[in-house]
Amino acid sequence: MILRRLAPAVQPLLSVAGAFVVAGVVVWACGGSPLEALSALLQGSCGSSTGLLRTLSKATPLLLSGLAVAVALRAGLFNIGAEGQLILGALAAAWAGHAFTGLPAWVHIPICLAAGVVVGAVWAAIPGALRAWRGSHEVIVTIMLNYLAIQLAHFLVNGAMKDPVSMAPATSMVEPSARLWAAADGSNFSAGFGLALLAAVGVAVLLRHTALGFEIRAVGLGADAARVAGVNVGRTMISAMAISGGLAGLAGAIEVLGVHRRYLDAFSPGYGFDSIAVALLGGGNPVGVTLSSLLFGGLSAGATHMEAWTHVPRQIAGIVQGVVIFSAGARYLKGRRR
């Protein structure tokens, strides 16, 4: 029984292990020491309290946007647009963070988070609706909406929404009442990680214990059977995309309120794209997504440390990531063909 419950974790663990082996071979072939590199990587990501917090802070946006991709995936939809939803969510949160003043934190923070969620949800509901009503493939539409979101944010933050006193393309700083609690040790760890964990629990409850989650899974695994049984497939797809976009928007809002304290142009190093790998490696389920976001967060946090201490370039971590994405993607496609 226990073995059967663990069975789905076997392949992802193997692909992660394989990825480390491949990266180790590359390090060795370039004349470095794989073991030294690995120990530096581990030291940097979980060898100290600052390292550990840095891992958690890097994992936060990956966890949230990974959940976003996972929810859509469970409905049979591939949301490639988490990046765009995250960016617009961040922008909305930054705006709400400085536009409202004189509010207590317990009112202001929820307003900002809600702004991010709503904007992300609306942005993702567009491809959902186009898919449901017009049959336009969500992959194409979300990719195009990413460009729109990135350029729109770039335009706004260099113009109408730009902080007049700053040189950088960024909005004004958010009010202190809109800032999430953050550690002062330079790890960028904030209360946002707790919110992300709560979101993971929420997604787990949604998928397992609610009628909407049941419909989402039914549409993802058997849209025809769901339709015949009376499920409104189109509406379910739109709901799934909106929830997905809301989570990605929340990721952006938390980055603004917890880390940058404002919207900074091009602040995202591609969280929305990495989140696709996080979701696939996590098998689309909240526990798996949480674990894989910690892995990716740890890789990202440890890579800098590794580079500084062993002269092994940080891009080696990218190789690990790449191999994991490759095998997780292959597994996903294989599952779909069946």
Q: Which residues bind other proteins (CB under 8 A)?
A: 209-212, 214-215, 217-218, 221-222, 224-232
Q: How far apart are CA 27 and CA 166, in angstroms?
A: 43
Residue 213, token pair as written in the block: 């989650």
Q: C-beta of 279: minimal distance to other proteins in Å?
A: 18
**Rounded distance, CA 206 to CA 284, Å?**
13
DSSP 120-166: HHHHHHHHHHIIIII---HHHHHHHHHHHHHHHHHHHHTTTTS-TT-
Q: How far is the CB of 218 from other proteins (least distance, A)?
A: 6
By C-beta, is 142 or 236 nearer to other proteins? 236
Buried b (16+ CB within 10 A) or exposed e, 322-337: ebbbebbeebbeeeee
**Between 227 and 314, CB nearer to other proteins:** 227
Distance, CA of 323 to CA of 307 (rounded, Å): 20
Residue with smaller CB distance to other proteins, 214 or 273: 214
Choose between 41 and 243: whose C-beta lies nearer to other proteins. Answer: 243
Shortest separation between residue 232's beta carbon and other proteins, angstroms = 7
Could you tell me the smallest distance in angstroms from the CB atom of residue 210 to other proteins?
Answer: 6
Give the residue among 261, 223, 268 at the shortest CA–CA distance from 120: 268
Nearer to other proteins, 229 or 266 (CB): 229
Q: Could you tell me the smallest distance in angstroms from the CB atom of residue 234 to other proteins?
A: 12
Buried b (16+ CB within 10 A) or exposed e, 68-96: bbbbbbbbbbbbbbbbbbbbbbbbbbbbb
Closer residue to other proteins in complex, CB, 167/337: 337
Q: Cβ of residue 110: shortest distance to other proteins, in angstroms?
A: 23
The helix or strand, by DSSP H or E, that contains position 247, with its residue range, turns out to be helix 233-254
